[in-house]
Structure 1
């Protein structure tokens, strides 16, 4: 039987086919409707397809079905056939045997019986014409089946099993084999990592979302994403690397933040510095790092400043980390993370303080980024400010006062107060505040000591008259320096007076230590007397 070739079909500009119009229109509703409008035209017919699924290969599969009336539908071609059948609207025949769309639909219902490798092949084919396969519904079914198998593997991971979801699990009873099973648990839960390297970043994104919807362990998902980035980036172009990094960051952001290590996030940060990441991806990465700021180290934070800037380190980046950390609300649950971050920031401020290009406003922002409750002592912050003033000798008095406002003088040790009172780099009001704070501490100590009362206490060598005189002396000094002396008139005289005051403070501290020692002896003697009195009845009996 002679075959008539009266229709020319141009497929995506790749190849031209001469076909029998009558045969192909008997299977395709799309062509049938098209030629139904061109009655009487029998010669020089030509159809041009610009977006045929699978191109020439897909159209050739369709022709094979049309001319033979059947075709073997396998996982290796089902994605292509189903998409092409939908494109050509090949559901015209009333007979299931000649209805390609219905046949592919039926085959897709058996996807649960496919092997792991067959499922990967189908996914790879969907990837080649992603948009069409996704709209046809094939991709969604493949992804759902893949995630379902990984979920089953994840649930059975505590038991020893072979490296395939199609294999049966095995349990060991002996101690040695159980130990070996625990050692291999990580391998059993990650056996599929290399298999999914064939997927594109877009498909990895879709697979990740499917796994999350299946409640697969987020720690395993994050390990896969990190493995995918490391494996695929080595041979990728700059644009491909940027796309991979953005995809991984976006997917990590959807996971539980505790499933991603702080070290890995800073690794992504270092890599991303050379790429022009989207604003959204960069913001997500900074937010994730800020969430785990209490796990960071000083080396992590010493990120070079952006190209074109003259300061040494990227302080703005660290400030954004701190903002994200505060917004997470972690300090409301526990003060420990906040204190860790405060200690880290003291180290960071001391590291960036010697940078001559660092603006006072940025240094002040670092000092005031955390609440006062985050620090039990502010000696390290004082040290960082001292370094900053030393390098930035040309700072105005106004800028210095603004920075010193971040200091809580009550949280400075006696040694720091003494150093500050003699520190010419600090503004004059700070030199007054330091001794006032120190005097307040001594006065509080004396007040606490006076509250101790014992019955039948023996006379103390430090009598009330002497104690009263010392307190009056301290109060007199506090009142004297709480005023506003004209320091500019005679700085040397003020400094000498401050030194005299420091000597008196030290005398008071010595007196307090003596009192505490004597009271401890008295308490010990009193306890000893009580114990002897209780033991008398037993001796008499």
Structure 2
């Protein structure tokens, strides 16, 4: 065998090269150490590389470098592979004063700022297929810094879509694989670079986003890019690949301002995520972002079907987790207006899930009590939701029914709701008593505020009787809380309730009469322009 073929090298199983062992070893420290000082040419040598950077094509470039006495043309197309191969082969050795391959590739990297846009993209795409090491990371970071720097400058100098393109800097907009029509389309949008970067894998995108955040690119733009990347790459991805994409997108969204992405897009991402086998950590992160903005949600957003294997209709546990996240920062940190909006939304949600025959009482109670009492001015919507729930769930125990009704604030029920409740057989007697007491208290307060005469309150038929009945009602409620036997007291409770209903009717009539008299007085004052008269005594 002649001196030009005494070393056989198998490169990643792709091709076998016969090379001059002495010539290759003079440039490669790796092969030099492998063969030692042996100068024998009478034996055949064979080397097998399983993970050579760039494969057989790159090894051929390295061999040409050795056979051309340390001379090779380095371009953005081959720089990434040559740089990795140079370190892989430990090519820090030079012959006859020529520069070694590591020095040549390092110098080429210093000129990366002059590369065109597609050259940068091509270098990134090549490096994502190389084994990860420190040297590869250095090339990637330089490419990313240059690429993202141009995006930042374009965004700062010209927000107009027609000028916010690489054309402004004298380099092409996309990879050579892009068609002319595609280039025209992408140039017409402010987000012209979305499709270009979408050819990169998840690891490279994650590095790119970190660089964008550090360069203070607009978080809204970064968020839109991540959602675009997810949508575009989902088209041909398998289930496992979809999980990796979703996890990358969610993890990077967490590094952005939580209000930078439209809420409906976050909910759409959540619905996709719930149908994939993603990690619990990723799901929790996305739910945390959504929960912080729950006051932006609509009823349709919350009506997410229950997970597979669950027999109830909607994913109630998801809503409970979102509510927990919404309140996670502590009530003082959430404005009252936002809490009120969420309360209205939650009452509507309760009305939707109440007819579900599989919804357990504990879940209904958890929803009803998730927000503080101060979040609601009226409990009418919750009462109607409870009415539907009790209508469907007829097999509840007395204790379960009582616990459900305990979520109501009877003082915040309207008169109509109180009257309806007083005749509603589905609710326990204690709820009826509390509703009537609440209504009576409101009427007495109204009369008192209108300067109702004290002499009337001393009348046994009105004032004293009301206080007596109120005290009796409170005692009944206490007894109920102690779980006394209601059946043995049915007759007494029925008579008591009838008396309270009559009392409510009587007070309503008095209030109506008072309002009529006040209206007459105001009309008389307006027409005659006389001195105001003292308020008449209605109960003389």
Q: TM-score, normalised by structure 1?
A: 0.86
Partner SS state of residue 9, structure 1: strand
Matches within 5 A, 1:102-501: 102-129=103-130, 131-132=132-133, 135-159=136-160, 161-162=162-163, 164-167=165-168, 188-329=189-330, 332-450=333-451, 464-466=454-456, 468-469=458-459, 470-484=462-476, 487-489=486-488, 491=490, 494-495=493-494, 497-501=496-500
Please tell me whether the aligned partners of residues 27 and 95 of structure 2 are also in contact (alpha carbons under 8 angstroms): no
Q: 1:5 is matched with which residue?
A: 5
Segments of 5+ residues of structure 1 without an aligned counterpart are 170-183, 451-461, 533-541
Q: 1:515 is matched with which residue?
A: 514
Q: 1:456 is matched with which residue?
A: none
Deviations 1:322-377 (A, max 9, x none): 11111144763411111111111111111111111111111111111111111111
Deviating more after overlay: 39-48 vs 279-288: 39-48
Please tell me whether the aligned partners of residues 380 and 413 of structure 2 are also in contact (alpha carbons under 8 angstroms): yes
Please tell me whether the aligned partners of residues 186 and 193 of structure 2 are also in contact (alpha carbons under 8 angstroms): no
Matches within 5 A, 1:82-101: 82-93=83-94, 97-101=98-102
Shift of the alpha carbon at 1:464?
4.9
Matched, 1:73 2:85: no
With over 3 angstroms needed to count, the CA separation of the structure-2 counterparts of 1:374 and 1:431, relative to structure 1, is same
Shift of the alpha carbon at 1:472?
2.8
With over 3 angstroms needed to count, the CA separation of the structure-2 counterparts of 1:192 and 1:104, relative to structure 1, is same
Please give the alpha-carbon distance, in whole angstroms, between the structure 1 residues aligned to 2:269 and 2:299.
17
Please give the alpha-carbon distance, in whole angstroms, between the structure 2 residues aligned to 1:531 and 1:230.
76
Please give the alpha-carbon distance, in whole angstroms, between the structure 2 residues aligned to 1:260 and 1:206.
20
Please tell me whether the aligned partners of residues 52 and 85 of structure 2 are also in contact (alpha carbons under 8 angstroms): yes
Please tell me whether the aligned partners of residues 133 and 139 of structure 1 are also in contact (alpha carbons under 8 angstroms): no
Shift of the alpha carbon at 1:116?
0.8
Please give the alpha-carbon distance, in whole angstroms, between the structure 1 residues aligned to 2:105 and 2:67.
18
With over 3 angstroms needed to count, the CA separation of the structure-2 counterparts of 1:33 and 1:199, relative to structure 1, is same
Partner SS state of residue 132, structure 2: helix
Shift of the alpha carbon at 1:243?
2.0
Please tell me whether the aligned partners of residues 379 and 412 of structure 1 are also in contact (alpha carbons under 8 angstroms): yes
Deviations 1:149-204 (A, max 9, x none): 111122224346435224169xxxxxxxxxxxxxx999553011111121112211
With over 3 angstroms needed to count, the CA separation of the structure-2 counterparts of 1:187 and 1:346, relative to structure 1, is farther
Matches within 5 A, 1:6-85: 6-36=6-36, 43-68=43-68, 69-85=70-86
With over 3 angstroms needed to count, the CA separation of the structure-2 counterparts of 1:355 and 1:466, relative to structure 1, is same
Partner SS state of residue 137, structure 1: helix
Please give the alpha-carbon distance, in whole angstroms, between the structure 2 residues aligned to 1:208 and 1:282.
20
Shift of the alpha carbon at 1:473?
3.6
With over 3 angstroms needed to count, the CA separation of the structure-2 counterparts of 1:152 and 1:77, relative to structure 1, is same
Shift of the alpha carbon at 1:82?
0.5
Please give the alpha-carbon distance, in whole angstroms, between the structure 2 residues aligned to 1:379 and 1:130.
64
With over 3 angstroms needed to count, the CA separation of the structure-2 counterparts of 1:531 and 1:157, relative to structure 1, is farther
Deviating more after overlay: 331-340 vs 117-126: 331-340
Please give the alpha-carbon distance, in whole angstroms, between the structure 2 residues aligned to 1:65 and 1:40.
23
Aligned residues: 507
Please give the alpha-carbon distance, in whole angstroms, between the structure 2 residues aligned to 1:195 and 1:528.
79
Partner SS state of residue 282, structure 1: helix
Shift of the alpha carbon at 1:263?
0.9
Partner SS state of residue 258, structure 1: coil
Please tell me whether the aligned partners of residues 53 and 132 of structure 1 are also in contact (alpha carbons under 8 angstroms): no
Shift of the alpha carbon at 1:147?
1.2
With over 3 angstroms needed to count, the CA separation of the structure-2 counterparts of 1:283 and 1:76, relative to structure 1, is same
With over 3 angstroms needed to count, the CA separation of the structure-2 counterparts of 1:330 and 1:77, relative to structure 1, is farther
Shift of the alpha carbon at 1:95?
7.2
Deviations 1:123-163 (A, max 9, x none): 11112215148645111111111111111122224346435
With over 3 angstroms needed to count, the CA separation of the structure-2 counterparts of 1:391 and 1:37, relative to structure 1, is farther
Please tell me whether the aligned partners of residues 6 and 21 of structure 1 are also in contact (alpha carbons under 8 angstroms): yes
Please give the alpha-carbon distance, in whole angstroms, between the structure 2 residues aligned to 1:195 and 1:436.
69
Please give the alpha-carbon distance, in whole angstroms, between the structure 2 residues aligned to 1:160 and 1:393.
62
Q: TM-score, normalised by structure 2?
A: 0.86
With over 3 angstroms needed to count, the CA separation of the structure-2 counterparts of 1:487 and 1:33, relative to structure 1, is closer
Cα RMSD after superposing both structures? 2.9
Deviating more after overlay: 197-206 vs 326-335: 326-335
With over 3 angstroms needed to count, the CA separation of the structure-2 counterparts of 1:516 and 1:113, relative to structure 1, is same
